[in-house]
Chain A
Amino acid sequence: MLEISNIDVYYGDFQALWDVSLAVGDGEIVTLIGSNGAGKSTILKTISGLLKPKTGSITYDGIRLNRLPAHKIVELGICMVPEGRRLFPQMSVLENLEVGAFLSQARQVKGDTLNWVYEIFPVLRERAKQPAGTLSGGEQQMLAIARGLMSQPKLLLLDEMSLGLGPLLVQDISRVISEINKLKGITIFLVEQNVRLALALADRGYILENGRIVDQGDAKVLWSSDSVKNAYLGVGPVTEKG
């Protein structure tokens, strides 16, 4: 459904992505891993329209995304949960979710979607009236994902969802991700520094180094490959291998 071919992306004069191509198929969970600063978030920002590729093309169900503004891309069913949650801190949990369902197609089914995300993350129902900024880190990440789901996405882009969360929370949230993929058929494209988590969750993976895709393949195969060891070692010392 999503196809990126040969894109170069710049921040001003600085080239962040070099000739990147990747594809995400319907119903898949695909991950993009790589060390800090490799350009992972840049790819997500380019897909969601915050950055524009200089060359190459991005298509989604045959529609070219290159020149579309970000809010039009959401309309097509691509929603990004940005790194660092990026909630609206002074708005209540419920209001954050309502803003998630801003588009008219999402607004029509808002009530049902709301019940559904409350089922997935019951804590959000309890905190509905509280300002989002007063939630704990884990609750904020849940709200960020729930807010993204409110837009009724067909493709959910997740940027560093495990960052700063304890291992138990990370487990919880990855279980939820795999559930919404299996039960709702929502395609997931996951950017992660936590390689173990990402490859356990994903069907396929891509490895990004210095703005270039250096390896790709089945998640289980990648897990035992040399390039993963390199990317993994780039993050920190390995104490044990799964």
Chain B
Amino acid sequence: METAIQIITYGVIVGAVYGLVAVGLALLLGVMKYLNIAHGTFIMLGGYIAFWLFTLWHIDPFVSIPLVMLGMFIVGLILYRVLLSPLLKSPVGLRIGNSMLITFGLLWVLDNAATWLWTSNVRSITTSYTGEVLNIFGVKLPYTGLAGFGLALLVIFALHLLLTKTYFGKSVRATTQDPEAANLMGINIGRTYLISCGIAIMLAGVAGAVIVSSYSITPAGGLNWLLIAMIVVVLAGEENINGVFAAGLVLGLVEAVSVFVTGASYREVIGLVMFVLVLMFRPQGLFTRRVRGT
């Protein structure tokens, strides 16, 4: 019984981080129809910012997050202005492909720049509480994991509120569903894209800060996280940002259970098998209710 609870708790904690990892990718894909292959690399970049803030100035990673967010938001604005906005001229059907090519190139540039600047060493943050666990009736909860879980929950809830309760959020969702009609309602869609891109990269940065405190980062580590983000987005269903958190939890739980049953070597395979199965049998995603289009 304790083992079962331990597995589920572990799955939920990891799953929340998976949701956080994927949400920026889902946002950019939903709003702009851009698939950001460099998403994982931006996660690494956010992790490096948190790492250096901790290493040089001893700022706790969960305290430095506002700084990471601000920095990555600006990175996102620059990314949009320099690389992504020119792609808007291509028809929507070509946007995914074109954005993949451009961000794939960006991934190699950033990877190599990070290796050159900060070496390819594995980096992680060891705080005073790293490795310590909260023991509740024999169920062990690592503090960093709990903090990451709480933060993921907070960030995704905040994003949900932003998208559903504010005028800006409604303009983002309207632009997602029909950019031309949104434009006809007086929405400056270029500005909506710009801010959404900033937010998407900012969310990648938050995920990086969580990862560098609970796991570790390397310049090339982004690809693994991209893979996880893509699996989660497929599970959630394209254009379903609300489903991302739930899909992250599903992936986390399934992985935790399968690691227990089959051993850790098959962990990544399980995710990919789910990826293929969902695409084959439920391509709209696990958490998308189909609403008849107009």
Query: For residue A100, which residue of chain B has the nearest CB?
Result: B185
For window 84-138 of A, CB contacts with B under 8 Å fall at 84-91, 95, 98-100, 102-103, 106-107, 131-134
Tell whether, in the assembled complex, residue B173 and residue A88 are in contact, meaning their CB atoms are under 8 Å apart: yes
Q: Which of A82, A95, A106, A107 contacts B184 (CB 8 A)?
A: A82
In the complex, whether A199 has a CB less than 8 A from a CB of chain B is no
Interface size, chain A (Cβ < 8 Å): 33
Set B178, B183, B189: member contacting A88, Cβ < 8 A:
B178
A188 at the interface (CB under 8 A from B): no
CB within 8 Å for A131 and B291 given contacts A98-B170, A107-B167: yes
Within 8 Å by CB of A102, from B185, B291, B293, lies B185
B171 located at the interface, meaning its Cβ lies under 8 Å from any Cβ of chain A in the complex: yes
Task: Verify A86–B167 contact, CB threshold 8 A.
Answer: no
Residues of B contacting A86 in the complex (Cβ-Cβ under 8 angstroms): 178, 180-181, 184, 294
Check if A75 is an interface residue, CB within 8 A of chain B.
yes
Return chain B residues, CB-CB under 8 Å to A134. 291-292
B100 is an interface residue with CB less than 8 A from chain A: no
In the complex, which residue of chain B has the Cβ closest to the Cβ of A74? B186
The answer to whether B184 and A89 touch across the interface, beta carbons within 8 angstroms, is no
Q: Name, among A74, A75, A134, A140, the residue most crowded by chain B CB atoms within 10 Å (CB to CB).
A: A74
Do the beta carbons of A99 and B182 come within 8 Å of each other?
yes
Q: Number of residues in B with C-beta < 8 Å to the partner?
A: 21
CA distance A106 to B167 in the complex (A): 12
Interface check A151, CB cutoff 8 A: yes
Cβ of A80 within 8 Å of any chain B Cβ, yes or no, is: yes
B interface, over-half SS: helix
**Cβ A82 vs Cβ B186 within 8 A:** no
Determine the residue in chain A with the shortest Cβ distance to B189.
A71
Residues of chain B in range 158-192 having any CB-CB distance to chain A below 8 Å: 167, 170-171, 173-174, 177-178, 180-189
| Chain B residues, CB < 8 A from A82 | 180-181, 184
CA distance A100 to B187 in the complex (A): 9
What are the residues of chain A within 8 A of B292 when measuring CB–CB? 89, 133-134
Residue of B nearest to A85 (CB): B294
CB distance from A125 to the nearest CB of B (A): 19
A50 at the interface (CB under 8 A from B): yes
Q: Taking A133-B292, A134-B292 as contacts, is the C-beta distance between A102 and B171 under 8 angstroms?
A: yes
Q: Smallest CB-CB separation from A75: which chain B residue?
A: B186
CA A74 – CA B181 in complex, angstroms? 12
Q: How far is the CB of A96 from chain B (nearest CB, A)?
A: 8
A56 contacts B by Cβ under 8 Å: no
Point out the residue from B177, B180, B183, B188 that lies within 8 Å of A91, measured CB to CB: B177
Q: Which residues of A contact B181 (CB under 8 A)?
A: 82, 86-88
Chain A residue with the shortest CB-CB distance to B240 = A90
Closest A residue to B239 using CB positions? A90
Is B185 touching A133 in the complex (CB atoms < 8 A)?
Answer: no
Residue of A74, A99, A103 contacting most chain B CB atoms (<10 Å): A99
Which residues of B sit under 8 angstroms from A107, Cβ to Cβ? 167
Is A207 in contact with chain B by the CB < 8 A criterion?
no
B176 to chain A, nearest CB (A): 8
From residue B284, how far is it (CB to closest CB) to chain A in Å?
12
Q: Provide the bound-state CA to CA distance between A153 and B184, in Å.
A: 12
- Across the interface, which residues of B come within 8 angstroms of A90, CB to CB? 173, 177, 291
Chain B 211-248, CB-CB to A under 8 Å as 1, else 0, gives 00000000000000000000000000000000000000
Q: Give the 10 A-B residue pairs with the shortest CB-CB distance, closest first.
A: A74-B186, A86-B181, A133-B291, A103-B186, A88-B177, A70-B183, A99-B174, A71-B188, A133-B292, A71-B186
Enumerate 21 A-B pairs (CB-CB under 8 Å) in ascending A order: A50-B180, A69-B183, A70-B183, A74-B185, A82-B181, A86-B184, A87-B181, A88-B173, A88-B174, A88-B177, A91-B173, A91-B174, A99-B170, A99-B171, A99-B174, A99-B182, A102-B167, A102-B185, A106-B186, A133-B291, A133-B294
